[in-house]
Amino acid sequence: MLLIQCPWCGPRDEIEFRCGGEAHIARPADPTALDDAQWADFLFMRTNPKGWHRERWYHGAGCRRWFNGIRSTITHEIVGFYKMGETPPPLPDRSPASPGPTR
């Protein structure tokens, strides 16, 4: 179970949260201006990276706030969370690390 650092409440168990999928997919300002393919791209298409991923989280059983975070889809390492509307920090330029010792 992930330990998630809610920017409002501090570290809490994953069961208090819901993951809202890929972050920074803005709803188009004028949907009628899009053709079917463009609309489908907004509606259905998401990246599925192996590695760092910016995604949305919702603290439903806590402060009921949405926020963004950067998580490794390989190791679940979370490098940080930032509030909605804040400038997204750059992705780490290292590969996701194992926190344990190496032999």
Partner 1 sequence: MSGRHQRPDSGRIDRSAPLHFTFNGRRYQGYAGDTLASALLANGVKLIGRSFKYHRPRGIVSAGSEEPTGLVQLEIGGYTEPNLRATQIELYEGLITTTQNAWPSVEYDFGAVNNLFSKIFIAGFYYKTFMQPRSFWMRYYEPAIRRMAGMGRASREPDPDIYDRMNEHCDVLVVGAGPAGLAAAQAAARTGARVILADEQSEMGGNLLTENVKIDGRPGTDWLAHVVTELDSRDSVRLLPRTTVFGYYDYNYLCAVERCTDHLGPKGAPGHPRQRVWHIRAKQVVLATGAHERPLVFADNDKPGVMLAGSVRTYVNRFATLPGRNAVVFTNNDSAWSAAFDMADAGMAIAAIVDRRDTVRPALAERARERGIRILAGTVVTGVTGRRCVAGVEVARLASDGTGIAGGVEQIECDLVAMSGGWNPAVHLFCQSQGKLRYDDEKACFVPGRAAQKQYSAGSANGAFALADVLIEGFHAGISAVDAAGYGATANNVPPRADREETAPLRPLWLVPSTKTLGHGAKRFVDLQNDVTAADLLLAHREGLDSVEHVKRYTTSGMGTDQGKTSNVNTLAILAEAQIKTIPMLGVTTFRAPYTPVTYGALAGRDVGHLADPIRTTAIHRWHVEHGAAFEDVGQWKRPWFFPKPGEDMHQAVARETKAVRDGVGILDASTLGKIQIEGPDSAEFLNRIYTNAWKKLDVGRSRYGLMCREDGMVFDDGVTSRIGENSFLMTTTTGGAANVLDWLEEYLQTEWPTLKVYCTSVTEQWATISIAGPKSIDVMHEVAPGLDVSSERFPFMSFQEGTVAGVAARIFRISFTGEVSFEINVPSYYGLAVWEAVWAAGEKHGMTPYGTETMHVLRAEKGFIIVGQETDGTVTPIDLGMDWIVSKQKDFVGRRSLTRSESVRSDRKQLVGLLTEDPKEILPEGAQLVFDPSAPIPMPMCGHVTSSYWSPNCERSIALALVKGGLGKKGETVHAPLIGRTVRATIVDPVFFDPENKRRD
At its nearest, how many Å lie between partner 1 and the CB of residue 3? 4
Nearest to residue 81, comparing CAs of 27, 25, 28, 20?
A: 20
* Residues in contact with partner 1 by the rule CB under 8 A: 1-3, 13-14, 20, 26-27, 30-32, 34, 36, 39-40, 43, 56, 58, 60, 64-66, 75-76, 84-85, 98-103
Minimal distance, residue 103 CB to partner 1, in Å: 6
Minimum CB separation of residue 30 from partner 1 in Å reads: 8
| CA neighbor of 2 nearest in space, from 10, 12, 98, 68 | 12
Q: Which is nearer to partner 1, 54 or 56 (CB)?
A: 56
Give whichever of 29 and 93 is closer to partner 1, judged by the CB atom. Answer: 29
Partner residues linked to 53 by β-bridges: 71
Contact present, 48 and 69 (Cβ < 8 Å): no
Helix (H) / strand (E) containing 13: strand 10-13
